[in-house]
Each structure stands twice: as C-alpha cells, then as structure tokens.
Structure 1
Amino acid sequence: MTIGIDKLNFFAPHLYVDLVDLATARGVEPAKYTIGIGQEKMAFPPLTQDTISMGANAALPIVSKEDAELIDLVILGTESGIDYSKAGATVIHQLLGVQPFARAIEIKQACYGATAGLLMAKDYIQSHPGRKALVIASDIARYGLATGGEVTQGAGAVAMLVSDNPKILALEDESVVYTDNIFDFWRPVYSDNALVDGKFSNEAYITFFSTVWEEYKRRTNRCLEDFEALCFHLPYSKMGKKALLPVLENDGATDSVKEKLLTNYEHSILHTKAIGNIYTGSLYLGLCSLLDNQPNLKDNQLIGLFSYGSGAVGEFFTGRLVPGFSDHLQTEAHHNLLNERQALTIPEYEAVFKEKLPQDGSEMKLDTQADPASICIEKITDHQRYYYKK
C-alpha cells in the first residue's frame, strides 16, 4: 500500500509588496533583495486573513464532499496561532464541513510543524486504509517595519490531502530526523515579532541538512544521483542553495547531477520569490513550485525533501511521483492566484501593517467584500473570531 499526498494546493493573500519598491523606500540597493536573498515580492495579509482563514482557503478547492466524509484527521501546522489553547484546526474542520468524528489538532515547532503533521497523517492512514487526513501549513512571517528581517516576511498556506493510493506523491518510509536545543530563531509569548540570530540560523540550517543527509546516505546507500530534485524549507529563496552547494561538492557530484539538481532547485523557488516566507508552508510551497514550473518531471522520479524548524528540528524524507501526477495539479489556479494580486504602495503597506484586531473584547466588523478570498474573518466580538464563507 502506498500512502502520500493525494491533492495539493496553496493560497496567498491578494495583497503584496514589490521588493524593489521596498528597497527604494528603505534606502537599500534593490539588488540586495532581488539578487542577494533572491526575493521579488512579499505577500501581505489584510486584517480579513489569518492562519485559520488562509489554511481554509488553501484546503477549500481540494476537499470535496466525498473527501470531507472520509477525513479522520485535520492537522494545522503553524507558529502563527491565534490562541494558546484552542486549535485553529477545529475552525477549519467546521468551515470545510469535515465529518464530526475526526481529530482536529494544531502542531507547533517553528517551520517544522507541518512536516510532523504530514508524517503523523501517513502513520494514521497506514493503520486506517481507505480513510483520509488533511494537513495544513499556514503562517504569517512578521518582523516589523524597517527591521533587518522585513524583506523576509510573507504570508500564505499550503493544504495537503493525505490518503492511500495517492495521486501526486507517494511518501517513502525511510527518513532521518535530527533535534538540537538551540536559539537561532524564537518568539517569546510576550512578543508580537520573532527574534532571530540571522548568521547562526543560516549556519544551523546548513549544518542540519548536512547532518541528516549524511545519515540518510548511511542508512539507505543512496546518493545524489538517485534524486530528480531536492526541495528545501525556504525562508528566502537562496537559503536552500546555500545548503545544497557544499553537499554537491563534498559528495563529488558529476556535472550532470549538479546541473539537474540546481536547475530543478530554480524551478522550486519561483513561488517563494513571489510570496516570501510562509514558515511551516515554505517547504511545501517549494514542492508546489517544482511541480507547477518544471514540465519535464516524469512518473516515478524520486524527490527529496528537507524540512527545518528553528529551535531546532530537521528532517530529510522522500517521495516518488505517482504515475499520472501531472493530471492532478492545481497549476493554472496557482498561476492565476499570483497574477491577480494587488500591489501595495509602501505607504499603503505600512498603514495595513499597523492595523490590528481588537484585543480587549470589543467588536469590530470587517469588510469581507474588499477581500476576494472565499473565506475571510467577518468580525471580532467577545475575544472570538467569526469567519465568513462566501
């Protein structure tokens, strides 16, 4: 029995900031953003979108009524949760009409949470063939105006329907996970913005990838040549390449292997360039980008995936493209979503950035008509968020 990703979709808010405009406003040479870290646009959420609504919007197009009756597990991976106690997955469960006898949980481990959820879902389907699980990665990366991390902000969600006999990617059993207690990136409960040791975080990411890759090779006797592509967690589009290049050299990869993996890496970062950092969803946004933008992928090819969550947990796991996978992608919808977004001027972006939902129990009604998304926050009252499904 094969188990894996049966359906796959992502969502990004309809607003974005052009990073050339942002660089100009901040007195920075634009190439530092567009070439130095490899980012072009930054998705930004209006008040009508949060991790719950974005996750529901990502899942809505791929969860049919028949799927909703078979889903036993709804998992939301996020580090941008809106409640210390109540899982956002319970709201998504309701918005999607999932049958009531299902588990709904939220997982936090920085950018690794959704991967934990995906592999948990795989194990569940292994013992419950014929049933399904919905795994959602949804986050808002926020560092503050005119901060060092501002250019690596972003917002969005990825939804994955997990089943046996999947139509897109069959997950393999062997994986390598590595944990170390470090402070490269964290956000105390009293802080709205994350704290980051940028240099150390980059070094930790590279070290974790090298560590899990070496152990994976030892356990499986596989090598780089076996893979058609490697997908990475992408806090910005250049990060994965920084980890990949030394491994290509250390492993003595041939020129043809280097060309193949680096070419496919470039396909895997196109969506990230247009959206920015979406934390838990970044790896899976990269997978979407590879599948959407590389027309030469073939059935049964092996894809490697590296998940990294600061603090820190890293995991390398693999999947094979299912025969006929290309017939089940959301490529056209993804490109339409990105092309139909609205650019914010820098004054507009800064004004939206400063807007906040009430935190004192007072009521606020929001203009859902200004947001083209199918699911939006409709109002806040008595410390509760109410969502509107158009």
Structure 2
Amino acid sequence: MKIGIDKIGFAMPKYYLDIEDLAIGRNANPNKFKKGLMQLEMSVSPVSQDIVTLGSAAAYEILDSSDREKIDMIIMCTETGIDHSKAASVFIHNLLKIQPFTRSVEIKEACYGATAGLNFAKNHIEKNPDSYVLVIASDIAKYGINSQGESTQGAGSCAMLLKKNPKLLILNDDNVFHTRDIMDFWRPNYSKYPCVNGHFSAKQYLDCLTVIWNEYLKRNSKTLEDFEAVCFHLPYPKLGLKGLQSLFPESFTKEMKDKFLKNFESSIVYNQKIGNIYTGSLYLSLLSLLENSNNLKSGDSIAMYSYGSGAVGEIFSVTLAENFKKSLRIDRKTEFSKRHRLSVNEYEKIFFEEITVNEEGNFDLNNSDDSIFSLEKIENHKRIYKSNIKK
C-alpha cells in the first residue's frame, strides 16, 4: 500500500519585514543577512495570529467537505504551543468543522516534530487503510529585539493531508533517525525567548547530517545520484546550502552539482520570504521545490533532512506521484505580493505585543484582523477564536 502526502497547504501572516530594513535598523551591513544567511524577508505575526489560526488557515486551503468527513486524526506539530495541556489541534478541529470521531494530539521536539508527525500518521494509515490524517506544522519563531537570532525569525504553517494512494508524493520506507543530548537551542518553560548557541547549533546540524546521511546510504544501498533533489530544514537558507555541498562526493562533476544546486534554489524561494518556521521549515522548502522547480517529474525521488535542536535528526525520501503537478498551486507567489511591508518600528510594535489578562483572566484584542481565522479574545483564561468563513 502506498501512503503519502495527498495535499500540502501553507498559511502566513499578512505582514513582513524586509531583511535589509532590519539590518539598517540594527546598524548592521545588509549583506550580513542577505548573503551571510541568504535571507530576504521575514514573516511577522500580530498577536491576533497564533499557531491555531495559521494552522487552520493552511489546512482550510486544501480541505474539502469530503476530506473533513474522512479525517480521523489531527496531529499538531509545534514548539510554540499555546497551552501546556490542551492540544492546539483540538481548537483546529472545531474551527474546521471536522467530523467528531477524530483523535487530536500535539507533539514536540523542536523543529523535528512534523517529521515525527508524518511517521505517526503513516503508521496509523497502515493499520486503518481508509483513514485520512491531517498533520499540521505551525510555529512562530521569536527571539527578541536585537538578539542573536532576530534576523532568522518567521511565522507560518504547513498543513499536510496524508492518505493511501496519494496524489502528490509517496513516503518511502527508508527512514534513518538519530538522537544526541545537546543544548544548542532550547526554551525553558519560564522563558519567553529561546536560549541559542548559534555557532554550536549550526555545527551540530551539519555533523548530524553527515552522521545520518552516511548511515542512510549504508542501510539503503543508495548514493546521492539516486535523487533529483535534497530538501533541508532551513533555520536560514545558507545553512541548507552548506549541508547540500557537504554531501557532494569528490567524484561529482560540475553538471551533477549544478542539478542539485538549481533545485536547491527552487527549494528556498518561499523560505527566503518567510524566515524560520521551526517545524514547518522543511515542508515549506519541499513545497517551494515542488512549485518552483521545472525539472522534476513523476517517479523522481527527493531526499529529506529533518533536524530539531536538542537534538533529533532524520533522513528519509519521498517519491513524486503520477501527475503530482496537478495537486500544486501555480499562483502562490501572488500571496506574497499581497502582504504589508512593515517599518522596523511597526515590526517591533506588532511582533512583540503581548497578551496580558486582567484578574478575571480576560483580554479583548479589539482587533480588526480580517484573516480567515483570528484570535478574538481571552475570556476567563479561555482562548476564543473568530472565523471569517462566509457561510
């Protein structure tokens, strides 16, 4: 039985900050961000948008009424959860009006979580062949003003519908995973912002890639030439480029390298405009590759490198389904042009606004957010969401 991703949706806030404006505002050379990170813009989320609203919007893009009747599991993957107890997927289940006999959970392991979610979904479908599983990777990366990671911030969500005989891509049974106990990036429960050891984290990312890749090739009797492209988790695009270059064997010709480099450029188009979205970063890169590359065909294999600080890494592959292009959007770039560009002062005011409830646990956002889903208020410590879906 072939199991994989039938549809992928994506959602982002309507605001963004040009990375050059940030550099100038921080008295830095713009090339430090534009060339050093290969980042161009970053998505900025207002307080009325969170992992629930973004995740719901990403899923709403791809689900029809038949899907909502067949989905029996929702897996939210995030490291910016909104509640220590209640899964964000429960809120999404209600907002999307998915049938009630559904299992809804939330999982976490830094940026790796969505890859675990895909594996859980695949295992579920193997035992329940008629099941549809919705996996959502939704995050808001926030590091603080003038912090080490500020230039890599971002916000967004990828939603993936998994089922048997998928129209987009097949998940292959070749996963190799790896765990090592390190402190390269973490956020204690008492801290608003993560603790980051940037240089150490980048080194661990690349070292994990080498260790897992070598084991992957050995276990599966494969070489890099078995793939048309490699997709990476992208804290920032330059790190993915370093990762790709580290995989090139000495025997590779310039023509071979150019093929992978060209597809890598296609895979970072969206990430360069969004920034890091943690659990969704790898899958936004995959979506970017599929919608922007002009040299992929049905049957092609793509290698996937997932990394979550702390650290857990995994390499697996996917195979493009027949007529996969019919399941993709060709107009997504227009969505980026509709966003509102912020000044640095506007960005600081919007992005770092906080919810502060009163003694009764209430907070009214008084927002005019016309997004399809938004957070309306906190009432008695309960999050109340608003839907702008026209009935």
The aligned runs of 1:207-226 (5 Å cut-off) are 207-226=207-226
Alpha-carbon deviation of 1:362?
3.7
- 1:78-114, Cα deviation, whole Å (9 max, x unpaired): 0000111111010111111111111100001000011
CA distance, structure 2, for counterparts of residue 228 and residue 100 of structure 1: 41
Match for residue 29 of structure 2?
A: 29
Q: Please tell me whether the aligned partners of residues 55 and 136 of structure 1 are also in contact (alpha carbons under 8 angstroms).
A: yes
Alpha-carbon deviation of 1:368?
4.7
The aligned runs of 1:91-130 (5 Å cut-off) are 91-130=91-130
Given residue 202 of structure 1, which amino acid in structure 2 is its aligned partner? A
CA distance, structure 1, for counterparts of residue 117 and residue 324 of structure 2: 22
CA distance, structure 2, for counterparts of residue 367 and residue 221 of structure 1: 58
- 1:126-156, Cα deviation, whole Å (9 max, x unpaired): 1111210000000010100011111010000
Alpha-carbon deviation of 1:64?
1.1
- Unaligned 5+ residue runs, structure 2? none
CA distance, structure 2, for counterparts of residue 258 and residue 367 of structure 1: 53
Match for residue 317 of structure 1?
A: 316
Higher mean C-alpha displacement, 313-322 vs 93-102: 93-102
Given residue 139 of structure 1, which amino acid in structure 2 is its aligned partner? D
Q: Please tell me whether the aligned partners of residues 10 and 61 of structure 2 are also in contact (alpha carbons under 8 angstroms).
A: no
Given residue 255 of structure 2, which amino acid in structure 1 is its aligned partner? S
CA distance, structure 1, for counterparts of residue 334 and residue 75 of structure 2: 27
Alpha-carbon deviation of 1:366?
2.8
CA distance, structure 1, for counterparts of residue 374 and residue 108 of structure 2: 23
The aligned runs of 1:25-104 (5 Å cut-off) are 25-104=25-104
Match for residue 335 of structure 2?
A: 337
Matched residue SS, 1:331: coil
CA distance, structure 1, for counterparts of residue 123 and residue 106 of structure 2: 17
Number of aligned residue pairs: 387
Matched residue SS, 1:36: coil
CA distance, structure 2, for counterparts of residue 244 and residue 266 of structure 1: 11
Match for residue 154 of structure 2?
A: 154
Alpha-carbon deviation of 1:352?
1.4
Give the TM-score of the pair, scaled to structure 1.
Answer: 0.97
Match for residue 267 of structure 2?
A: 268
Matched residue SS, 1:270: coil
- Unaligned 5+ residue runs, structure 1? none
- 1:316-336, Cα deviation, whole Å (9 max, x unpaired): 01110101010111331x222
The aligned runs of 1:223-372 (5 Å cut-off) are 223-249=223-249, 252-332=251-331, 334-360=332-358, 361-369=360-368, 371-372=369-370
- 1:336-381, Cα deviation, whole Å (9 max, x unpaired): 2211000011111111133111244443333453x34211111111
Matched residue SS, 1:119: helix
CA distance, structure 1, for counterparts of residue 95 and residue 248 of structure 2: 45
CA distance, structure 2, for counterparts of residue 294 and residue 70 of structure 1: 32
Higher mean C-alpha displacement, 305-314 vs 95-104: 95-104
Given residue 139 of structure 2, which amino acid in structure 1 is its aligned partner? D
Matched residue SS, 1:238: helix
The CA RMSD measured in Å over matched residues stands at: 1.1
- 1:285-316, Cα deviation, whole Å (9 max, x unpaired): 00011011112211110011100000000000
CA distance, structure 1, for counterparts of residue 89 and residue 236 of structure 2: 27
Given residue 380 of structure 1, which amino acid in structure 2 is its aligned partner? I
Higher mean C-alpha displacement, 200-209 vs 256-265: 256-265
Q: Please tell me whether the aligned partners of residues 170 and 321 of structure 2 are also in contact (alpha carbons under 8 angstroms).
A: yes
Runs of 4 or more off by more than 3 Å in structure 1?
359-362
Q: Please tell me whether the aligned partners of residues 368 and 376 of structure 1 are also in contact (alpha carbons under 8 angstroms).
A: no
Higher mean C-alpha displacement, 97-106 vs 358-367: 358-367
